[in-house]
Each structure stands twice: as structure tokens, then as C-alpha cells.
Amino acid sequence: MADFMFNNVKGEWKTMFQLPLTNDAIVTCLIESSGVEADDTLNNYDDLQALLAAANNEQTNQARKTITASITVTVDDTNNRLDVDIPDQVWTALGGNAISDLTLNYDGDTTSGTDANVRPILNFDFTITPDGSDVTAVINTAGVARSA
């Protein structure tokens, strides 16, 4: 499960994971350890451009991943909750600077726009020191996020 949800999406994150628009996607972003702000500061950013313009550096040695399939949104009436899950994410031969966080972001139109249009949804502590080997972000068996 996520370490936190960004404040600006708390009422609409379910819709974002349902990918309601024609060219939308969930996009990963790896954040470097050096200079990363505290979670209580990170969760206040409304768009990815503002988050990266602050002290937070994107680890750009690997490209962002775009997730458009195999996302499940499940309403669990028995347990009175909503569960969202995505596939595990794999980075091949990960190199570059040390990583501390992984964000999942919503891009409403992957064919145009900038990071100012990309909205952070979830943040995970993801401490990795790249050494050229493959790295997998294993999503919790309970899913990526839950609302109860």
C-alpha cells in the first residue's frame, strides 16, 4: 500500500485509476534520495512539475513507465472498501543516482501537455541504490491503495 496519497486527489483518485479519458495513463516517477523533501511537504504538490521544480530530483536514468492496462478497481461490499491494484513494475538494468521514492501520477492526456498537467496520486518509500541490475517494484498483494 502507498505511504501516502497526495492531498489534491483525495476525492477523485478512484476515477483516475479507472482511466476515463481516451489518452490518459498512470505514470511512474522515481525520485532521487538526494534533496528529497519530507512526506508532509511532498503531499502538498498539485502537479508533477511543481514537485520536481522544488528540491526533489527525478531519477532520469530510466524512463518513466506508462501504465494503461491491467489496473483493477474493485468495490468490496462485503468488507466495505475499495481496492485498487496495478501490475508490479520492472526497471531493467537500473543505474544512476540513489532513489528514495516512487510516485504514481495521473496524466490526463499522454499525447500532449507537460508535467504541469500530470497530477501526483500516490507516493511510496522505494529505497534503491542502483547497481545495473533489474529492479522490481512489487505491489502489495492487497493492492496499490485502499479506501475504507
Domain holding 126, by residue range, is 4-147
3-state secondary structure of 48: helix
Query: How many structural domains are present in the chain?
Result: 1
Separation CA 16–CA 52 (nearest Å): 21
Q: Say which residue the cell 496495478 belongs to.
A: 86
pLDDT tens-digit series, residues 33-88: 999 999 999 999 999 999 999 999 999 998 899 999 999 999 999 999 999 999 99
Q: Which three cell numbers stand for residue 102?
A: 516512487
> Which residues, in sequence order, are bridge partners of residue 84?
73, 145
At 2 the pLDDT is: 80
Q: What is the pTM of this model?
A: 0.93
pLDDT exceeds 80 at position 141: no
How far apart are the C-alpha atoms of 27 and 52, rounded to whole Å? 14
* Residue 30, beta-bridge partner list: 102
| pLDDT value of residue 26 | 97
